């Protein structure tokens, strides 16, 4: 009975993440104003924040679909994806709180769609991972968790190389304002932060425990 209740609570939490991601996406796509880290419509997909949150929403949607099709333990591949997507959104939250917030101000960073994608969904994702998806996470998964930011970094670099450095059109995060060398240093810092977050979440999710 206890396991059944926990499973239902886990599914309810996943459903909440899906709903909040959908609401945030709607607010984002119908937005008509330009501001800090937010532009009009589909151009918002250039931001890692948006992509990582949607990834998390899709992973939790897959969890719900899987639960409807089959009962029992969640497939390990989905558990891994939950971890990877949570690390990705945690990176967004950490950079907003620790970097952009102090330098820009938090008001704009937690407004409209940013309220969902910078705050609510990432924090809820962390809570769900640590409460409902506790398991022994292999060290190799911490390296897999860096892949989304690495792929995004490659995309960001290709945009800069092919379209030139123009803030905020092509260099929308401002990483290359001191030259492409500065963007390389920024990328290295982001990868390091991502891996540290992956290690912390690995510990928080119960890396020393047995997978249930």
Q: Strands (DSSP E) along the chain, which ranges?
A: none
Burial class (CB in 10 A: 0-12, 13-18, 19+), 77: exposed
Main-chain phi, psi angles of 38, to 5 degrees: -155, 135
Count of structural domains within the chain: 1
Q: What is the pLDDT of residue 212?
A: 42
- 121 CB contacts (<8 Å, ≥6 apart)? 17, 20, 21, 24, 53, 56, 57, 89
Establish if 43 belongs to a structural domain: yes
pLDDT mean over 154-172 = 88
210 in any annotated domain: no
Residue 87: inside a domain: yes
7 within some domain? yes
42: Cβ contacts below 8 Å, ≥ 6 apart:
29
Q: Can you give the residue range of the structural domain that contains 136?
A: 2-204
Specify the range with the lowest mean pLDDT, choosing from 2-6, 116-120, 160-164, 188-192: 2-6
- pLDDT per residue as tens digits for the range 72-119: 678 999 999 999 999 999 999 999 999 888 878 888 789 888 999 999
Return d(Cα 161, Cα 101) in angstroms, integer. Answer: 28
**124 vs 21: CA distance, rounded Å:** 11
Backbone angles phi, psi at 35, to 5 degrees: -160, -165
Cβ atoms of 177 and 171 closer than 8 Å: yes
> For residue 94, what are its two tokens?
């950490």
Q: Does the pLDDT value for residue 202 go beyond 90? A: yes
Question: What tokens were used for 59?
Answer: 């992973």
pLDDT of residue 208: 46
Using the predicted structure, report yes or no on whether residue 128 has a pLDDT greater than 80: yes
Which band of pLDDT confidence, cut at 50, 70 and 90, is reported for residue 41?
confident
Residue at 108 is within a domain:
yes
Domain-located, residue 84: yes
Residue 181 placed within a domain: yes
- 143 pLDDT above the threshold of 60: yes
Which are the contacts of 175, defined by CB distance < 8 A and separation ≥ 6?
156, 182, 183, 186, 187
Q: What is the pLDDT of residue 81?
A: 97
Q: What is the DSSP letter of 205?
A: T
Question: How far apart (Å, rounded) are the C-alpha atoms in residues 184 and 157?
Answer: 9
- Domain contains 103: yes
Distance in angstroms (rounded) separating the CA atoms of residues 44 and 62: 24
């Amino acid at each position: 009975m206890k396991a059944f209740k926990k499973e239902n609570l886990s599914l309810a939490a996943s459903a909440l993440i899906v709903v909040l991601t959908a609401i945030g996406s709607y607010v984002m796509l119908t937005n008509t104003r330009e501001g800090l880290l937010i532009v009009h419509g589909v151009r918002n997909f250039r931001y890692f924040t948006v992509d990582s949150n949607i990834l998390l929403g899709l992973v939790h949607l897959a969890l719900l679909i899987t639960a409807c099709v089959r009962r029992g333990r969640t497939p390990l591949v989905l558990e891994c994806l939950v971890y990877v997507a949570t690390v990705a959104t945690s990176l967004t939250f950490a950079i907003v709180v620790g970097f952009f917030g102090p330098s820009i101000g938090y008001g704009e960073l937690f407004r409209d769609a940013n309220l969902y994608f910078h705050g609510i969904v990432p924090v809820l994702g962390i809570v769900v991972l640590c409460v409902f998806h506790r398991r022994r996470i292999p060290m190799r998964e911490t390296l897999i968790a860096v892949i989304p930011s690495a792929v995004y970094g490659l995309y960001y670099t290709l945009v800069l190389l092919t379209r030139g450095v123009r803030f905020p059109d092509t260099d929308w995060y401002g990483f290359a304002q001191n030259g492409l060398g500065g963007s390389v240093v920024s990328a290295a810092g982001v990868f390091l932060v991502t891996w540290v977050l992956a290690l912390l979440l690995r510990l928080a999710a119960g890396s020393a425990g047995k997978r249930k």
